[in-house]
């Protein structure tokens, strides 16, 4: 058991919740963030209650709420050793075609790109103070060209954000890792991919904990993790 503090956004379900459970087993104290406070609180209770896990409702598209997340973390635990910037949404509507989708894309771009950037920005001083570790959830869709997919473009933005932050951190002891999962069975799968091979959220959680477990002198830059048999083209 150790007392390191690990904050996870998008912690209420899927990859975030699986990572919270595994990190708890590894002895981390946790800050769990997402919009659904009820689900988060149930997970915080499951993981040991206020001394081990706190739930903080936060919409990552709202700067005041993200700032509050940082301030409450400092207040409750007084430190932050690692953060998993994982909150994200998918809108599958294609970029081209005669449908009316721009409004649908707005929330995705705000969550996946702006939300990730302001979360990293808000938490960076706490991470710098602890010589900590920032981990971002990218996607295989942020490493290959997915035709006509704005979701893919938002994940390319995460690839770029990770590289940009790592460059900015050069010379310091802070580390930045981008984890790029292939298809994960987190509840909602696009109809055209239902029979494709899938990872479990726990598979991605193990990759996150692997990056975190390295000695301070080792910065795992990226982890690309596909289910066995997934096409390298997606
Ligand atoms: N599933 C896949 O195949 C796959 C593959 C590669 C990458 N990813 C990425 O993995 C990450 C986690 O997704 P998942 O697959 O685990 O799906 P998920 O179960 O739907 O999880 C998404 C999480 O993000 C949270 N969230 C959404 N909008 C938010 C907002 N505005 N503010 C704060 N939290 C927000 C959700 O919680 P609330 O609703 O409570 O806010 C939820 O906890 C995402 O970044 C996704 O793009 C997924």
What pLDDT, on a 0 to 100 scale, did the predictor assign at position 189?
86
Burial of 92 (0-12, 13-18, 19+ CB in 10 A): middle
What pLDDT, on a 0 to 100 scale, did the predictor assign at position 78?
97
Q: What is the SS3 string spanning the chain? A: CCCCEEEEECCCCHHHHHHHHHHHHCCCEEEEEECCHHHHHHHHHHCCCCCCEEEEECCCCCHHHHHHHHHHHHHHHCCCCEEEECCCCCCCCCCCCCCCCHHHHHHHHHHHHHHHHHHHHHHHHHHHHHCCEEEEECCHHHCCCCCCCHHHHHHHHHHHHHHHHHHHHCCCCCEEEEEEECCECCCCCCHHHCCCCCECHHHHHHHHHHHHCCCCCCCCCEEEECCCCCCCCC
pLDDT digits (tens, 9 = 90+) for 112-162: 999 999 999 999 999 999 999 999 999 999 999 999 999 999 999 999 999
Q: For a ligand 1 pocket test, name from 7, 8, 15 the mutation site with the most ligand atoms within 8 angstroms of its C-beta.
A: 15
By residue count, the chain amounts to: 234
Residue 114 falls in the annotated catalytic set:
no
Per-residue pLDDT of the chain (234 residues; tens, 9 = 90+): 578 999 999 999 999 999 999 999 999 999 999 999 999 999 999 999 999 999 999 999 999 999 999 999 999 999 999 999 999 999 888 899 878 778 889 999 999 999 999 999 999 999 999 999 999 999 999 999 999 999 999 999 999 999 999 999 999 999 999 999 999 999 888 888 888 999 999 999 999 999 999 999 999 999 999 999 998 887
Domains assigned to the chain? 5-225 (3.40.50.720)
What pLDDT, on a 0 to 100 scale, did the predictor assign at position 1?
58
Q: For a ligand 1 pocket test, name from 19, 186, 208 the mutation site with the most ligand atoms within 8 angstroms of its C-beta.
A: 186
Whole-angstrom distance, CA of residue 117 vs CA of residue 86:
11
Q: Whose CA is nearest to atom 30 of ligand 1?
A: 59
Q: Give percent of the chain above pLDDT 70.
A: 100
Whole-angstrom distance, CA of residue 12 vs CA of residue 10:
6
Atom of ligand 1 nearest to the CA of 181: 6
Out of 140, 151, 152, 207, pick the active-site residue: 151
Describe the strand order of the beta sheet including 82-85 as a list of residue ranges. 53-57, 29-34, 5-9, 82-85, 133-137, 175-181, 222-225
């Amino acid at each position: 058991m150790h007392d390191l503090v690990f904050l996870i956004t998008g912690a209420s379900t899927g990859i975030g919740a699986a990572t919270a459970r595994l990190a708890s087993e590894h002895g981390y104290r946790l800050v769990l963030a997402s919009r659904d406070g009820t689900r988060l609180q149930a997970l915080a209770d499951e993981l040991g209650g206020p001394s081990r896990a706190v739930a903080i409702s936060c919409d990552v598209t709202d700067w005041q709420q993200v700032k509050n997340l940082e301030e409450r973390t400092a207040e409750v635990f007084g430190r932050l050793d690692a953060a998993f910037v994982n909150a994200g949404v998918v809108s599958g509507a294609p970029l081209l075609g005669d449908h009316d989708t721009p409004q649908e894309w707005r929330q995705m771009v705000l969550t996946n790109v702006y939300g990730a950037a302001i979360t990293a920005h808000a938490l960076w001083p706490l991470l710098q103070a602890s010589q900590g570790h920032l981990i971002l959830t990218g996607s295989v869709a942020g490493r290959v060209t997915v035709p006509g997919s704005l979701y893919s473009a938002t994940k390319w933005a995460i690839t770029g954000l990770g590289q940009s932050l790592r460059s900015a951190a050069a010379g310091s002891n802070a580390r930045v890792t981008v984890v790029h999962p292939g298809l994960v069975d987190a509840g909602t799968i696009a109809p055209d991919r239902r029979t494709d091979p899938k990872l479990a959220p726990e598979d991605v959680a193990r990759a996150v904990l692997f990056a975190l477990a390295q000695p301070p002198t080792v910065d795992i830059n990226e982890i690309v993790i596909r289910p066995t048999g997934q096409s390298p083209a997606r």
